[in-house]
Structure 1
Amino acid sequence: MRDNGGVTSATRLPGAPAAATRPRLIATDLDGTLLRDDRSVSPRTVAALEAAERAGIEVFFVTGRPARWMDVVSKHVDGHGLAICGNGAAVVDLHGGPGAHRFVKVRELPRRNALEAVRLLREAAPGTLCAVERTYGFHQEPGYPRLHLETPDSVAPAEELLAPDGPAGDQPILKILAFHPTLDPDAFLTLARIAVGARSNVTRSSPSALLELSGPEVSKASTLALCCAERGISHEEVVAFGDMPNDIEMLTWAGRSYAMGNAHPDVIAAASGRTVANNEDGVAVVIERLLAEAP
């Protein structure tokens, strides 16, 4: 099912007091947040997620990863079988196990917007190289660096990759990846947002100058808001965790939010609270405290 609707995500100003409402849903980023640096999920974190679900709290994985990279948490799926992938571009049911993930919702980047965003970004930052994420594949331009530890399904200029008769042209475009070899990552993000404007939502989650371009108004926050609305869950009942700029909207939307001890400075400023680093099981530390405080 494709869904191109937009949801306003900014419902709480950074620094506003955290809500005291009993949580009904935990939304957690993966890399740099739930996962340790070796990409493992610690036994303590697994136990905390299971305890939260026994207490009636839903768990959502909310990540910039594509669905095919969700095997890292698939074996830990219990009740928490839904993941928001691609920075909000897709909602995926993980219950089928590795290689059998099912798309529940797709919020695509329109082809026209993608082509225009690529053109404007290249004009603003010459030397930009792009890759295209579709529902079931990854395609890149010649010269795009090997950042994702996988072999692309095809290699061609972005205009060909995005053409209706291009590789996997019948599949929705989930996001564009844009890399610059010399620009500072935060400077590249600022420049891209100005250049692209409302044609695409631009963010980043990598320590390198790698940007992620999604559909207009598509973000972790807006897709999480849609999923919560379908369940009758308000933003005050959500606890969110993150570490990078692509988490900021989600953290400002949630009633309670926690920046990891290893988080980007802008994330720390946006969250209503802070926990210890991912390698110290910061998500588990907060969940354990929330459950201990519950009536």
Structure 2
Amino acid sequence: FYVTGRPPRWMPEIAKVFPFGHGICANGALLYDIHNERVLEEWAMPVENQIETVNRLRRSIPEISFAVEWHNYFLREKKYVPRWDVGQDNVGVDDITEIIDSPAIKIMARCSNQELNSDQMLRIAQRELAGVATVTHSNPHDSLLEISANGISKGETLSKIAARYGISADETVAFGDNPNDFSMLAWASRSWAMADGHPDAVKHAKFVAEPHEEDGVAKEIEQLLELPE
């Protein structure tokens, strides 16, 4: 399985490179047919939880702004400034709660002027959103949180889908480098934190792989498959 924080709109590029049929997208919120571009199953955040999430974080982090990700579109507040091309031209709204009217796969919360980094934001958000939503991030150098339905994570969904195929944690290999990978690293019995990843990743993984730029993933896979150098 390809397990990612990416939403479906970012998956066509993945389909060109990887042969995987299905992917777990949006940090566990979707089971997605990558090549047929079809959502197979979803675990979305209810409207009331979305609004409660926005209200709680706005009280605790006044500088924050929001965007919401659905299956195939993305809407943002005017103050939310993406750091990449979101692939859709929209000018945003003043208050994201004005347009929240259906379950969403992910909320993004950003401090656009980087008043706080992602780790600082995460500590606040985990306290404020306990029992309401699952919050994580995928870049400690940014100021961006990724928020899913309560209890949903890469690890939770991977374990659920693996069980359907009769695959246990002992038969699972996983690699990860950031907080949105931690649940997956903790669940898989053979998991590697990347040496150049988030410093807390090693607390959740069983092993440490060499950095990305030194082909750390490839080296571990070669050893697992006992391939000649």
TM-score range, shorter chain: over 0.9
Alignment of 1:99-248 (within 5 A): 101-150=37-86, 151-153=88-90, 155-156=92-93, 157-162=95-100, 164=101, 169=102, 172-180=103-111, 181-206=114-139, 207-248=141-182
How far is the alpha carbon of 1:141 from its aligned partner? Answer: 0.2
What percentage of residue pairs aligned between the two structures are identical? 39
**Shift in Å, 1:128:** 0.6
CA RMSD of aligned residues (A): 1.4
Q: Extract structure 1 runs of 4+ deviating beyond 6 A.
A: none
Partner-residue secondary structure (3-state), 2:129: helix
Q: Secondary structure at the match of 2:146?
A: strand
**Per-residue deviation, residues 141-185 of structure 1 (Å, max 9, x unmatched):** 0111122312354611211121x2xxxx4xx40010001230132
Q: TM-score, normalised by structure 2?
A: 0.92
List alignment gaps of at least 5 residues for structure 2. Answer: none
Q: Secondary structure at the match of 1:148?
A: coil
Query: How many residues were matched structurally?
Result: 222
How far apart are residue 260 of structure 1 and its match? Answer: 1.1
Higher relative contact order (CA 8 A, sep 6+): 1
CA distance in structure 1 between the partners assigned to 2:193 and 2:18 by the alignment: 24
1:76 maps to what in 2? 17
State the secondary structure of the residue aligned to 2:226.
Answer: helix
CA contact (8 A) 1:140 1:158 kept: yes
Q: Give SS of 1:155's match.
A: coil
TM-score where L is the length of structure 1: 0.72
The Cα shift of 1:281 comes to 2.2
CA contact (8 A) 1:138 1:152 kept: no
Q: Compared with structure 1, are the counterparts of its residues 278 and 71 closer, same or farther at alpha carbon in structure 2 (3 Å cutoff)?
A: farther
Paired amino acid for 2:178? M
Q: Secondary structure at the match of 1:173?
A: coil
Question: Do 1:138 and 1:154's aligned partners in 2 also have CA atoms closer than 8 Å?
Answer: no
Unmatched runs of 5 consecutive residues or more in structure 1: 1-59
Q: Distance in 2 between matches of 1:131 and 1:95?
A: 27
Please state whether the residue corresponding to 2:225 is helix, strand or coil. helix
